[in-house]
Amino acid sequence: MTRLFGTDGVRGLANQALTAPLALKLGAAAAHVLTAEKRSDGRRPVAIIGRDPRVSGEMLAAALAAGMASQGVDVLRVGVLPTPAVAFLTDDYGADMGVMISASHNPMPDNGIKFFSAGGHKLPDSVEDEIEKVMDSLPAEGPTGHGIGRVIEEAPGAQERYLEHLKEAVSTPLAGITVVVDAANGAASDVAPKAYEAAGAKVIAIHNKPDSYNINEDCGSTHIDKVQAAVVKYGADLGLAHDGDADRCLAVDKDGKVVDGDQIMAILAIAMKENGELRKNTLVATVMSNLGLKIAMDEAGITMRATKVGDRYVLEDLKAGGFSLGGEQSGHIVLPDYGTTGDGTLTGLSIMARMAETGKSLAELAQAMKVLPQVLINVPVADKSTIVADPMVVSAIKEAEAELGDYGRVLLRASGTEELFRVMVEAPEQEQARRIAGRLAAVVAEV
């Protein structure tokens, strides 16, 4: 049986793979699992629901609320807000669970459902499995009368509470900085410009007019060329691009050059070390981060840990080790002291705060890390589970590593969702990386 939950909640084409009846059952099952302890004490459980602006979110929010209320859970709907805002508000309101309805950077027809436990934490696989298990075993009849949950359509002060949280997290005045923000016509369309303006920056907002259908449409972090062009056009100091649910942020310097998640982590890690905020002098990234980040951290006297790909693994390592900064090349940056998930708006504020503190441009700050040329080739395979142990592949990897020495890196890994094997090579020169990656991909294709 195919697992319903993927790497980041339940996603699919809205009203086909992801239907209102499915959301109803998911809401009821999640409420049953995540609020069992509170219900056993006789207290009324509370859930938070937020969403991005896509049209199907209205339908799915109604179905989820109905499912949770049917299990005796009171539901506070906070409207259109970023994923990190919903995680924060789950904790701030003292709720027992939270739900974000979004498919992140996916196109509008898709949608997704992501649950948080009390405190705003993502669910481990074991809890998601338990939710799936009870979906079809809940009693046909739930509580009645006073036992039925209430649905509050607009939770009081939700956006204001999140904005105040951001203000407290990054208090450095940003006066004198002009920023272009591409909100992807998504969940940050209203809140991100407000947060940057409240901190003192001059904000030029683009793609911040969601109409329920235009989220991620030729804009945002997956179409970075739009903010690049806008920064140059307006002569801004930098640009920031969010995705649909605003848990990630990519940056652009004043000349329109992209500053990716690895470079952002390098900037923030060095800043936090200088300010005594980088606990255990450690940064947590993934195996897909550029080797240049590791080299930059070594030079700065900072330890870098590498997890499996996925922000959930970064979060797990941050929590287990008590570290204070982690993230991914894609722009998911996690600051555990201020949030339980990646927060694109907080990342943008942190970047600009470093610029304000040092008086340096983003381009100057990004020089802390030299990005090594990276080539990634996706190779279709019949059985991805057999690739790594194959003698021809092992031999080819050894040969490539010997050629690169300490000045490059080889990474082969299976796709988590498709019968593909990903071949990634980093080298001092682009042509060398391309040549070695092509050679390895050819060997993988033969297996």
| 210-235: pLDDT as tens digits | 999 999 999 999 999 999 999 999 99
**Gap between the Cα atoms of 132 and 130, Å rounded:** 5
Decide: helix, strand or coil at residue 71. Answer: coil
Q: Which residue has the tokens 């982590």?
A: 265
Residue 391 has pLDDT above 80, yes or no: yes
Segment 1-7 long-range contacts (CB within 8 Å, at least 24 positions apart): 3/129, 3/132, 4/132, 5/125, 5/128, 5/129, 5/131, 5/132, 6/417, 7/310, 7/312, 7/416, 7/417
Residue 298 has pLDDT above 60, yes or no: yes
Q: Could you tell me the domains of the chain?
A: 10-156 (3.40.120.10), 161-366 (3.40.120.10), 374-446 (3.30.310.50)
Catalytic residue numbers read 104
pLDDT for 153 equals 86
Residue 1 has pLDDT above 70, yes or no: no
Largest CA distance in the chain: 73
- Encode pLDDT of 259-287 as tens digits: 999 999 999 999 999 999 999 999 999 99
Chain centre to alpha carbon of residue 247: 4
**Gap between the Cα atoms of 323 and 311, Å rounded:** 14
The answer to whether the beta carbons of residues 192 and 200 sit under 8 Å apart is no
Helices (H), ranges, 199-338 = 225-234, 261-274, 291-300, 311-321
Would you say the C-alpha torsion 358, 198, 324, 288 has a positive or negative sign?
Answer: negative
Residue 385's pLDDT band (boundaries 50, 70, 90)?
confident
**Gap between the Cα atoms of 73 and 45, Å rounded:** 5
Decide: helix, strand or coil at residue 433. Answer: helix
End-to-end CA distance of the chain: 28
Among 36-45, 351-360, 393-402, the minimum mean pLDDT is found in 36-45
How far is the CA of 45 from the CAs of 62, 71, 127, 137, in angstroms?
18, 9, 18, 21
Residue 311's pLDDT band (boundaries 50, 70, 90)?
confident
Kindly calculate the radius of gyration of the chain based on its CA atoms and give it in whole angstroms.
23
pLDDT for 152 equals 93
**Gap between the Cα atoms of 10 and 18, Å rounded:** 8
- 8-state DSSP, 315: H
- Spell out the residues 6+ positions from residue 335 whose beta carbon is closer than 8 angstroms to its own: 169, 268, 324, 325, 343, 346, 350
Closest of 184, 178, 246, 180 to residue 210, by C-alpha:
184
DSSP for 168-209, written as a single string: HH-----TT-EEEEE-TTTTTTTHHHHHHHHTT-EEEEES--
The more confidently predicted of residues 155 and 368 is: 368
- Whole-model pTM? 0.92
The answer to whether the beta carbons of residues 27 and 101 sit under 8 Å apart is no
The answer to whether the beta carbons of residues 54 and 103 sit under 8 Å apart is yes
Tokens of 180: 């272009």
Residue 418 has pLDDT above 80, yes or no: no
- Encode pLDDT of 172-182 as tens digits: 999 999 999 99
> ∠ CA 316-318-323 to the nearest 5 degrees?
165
Q: Which residue has the tokens 């490539």?
A: 400
Q: Other C-beta atoms within 10 Å of 126: how many? A: 7
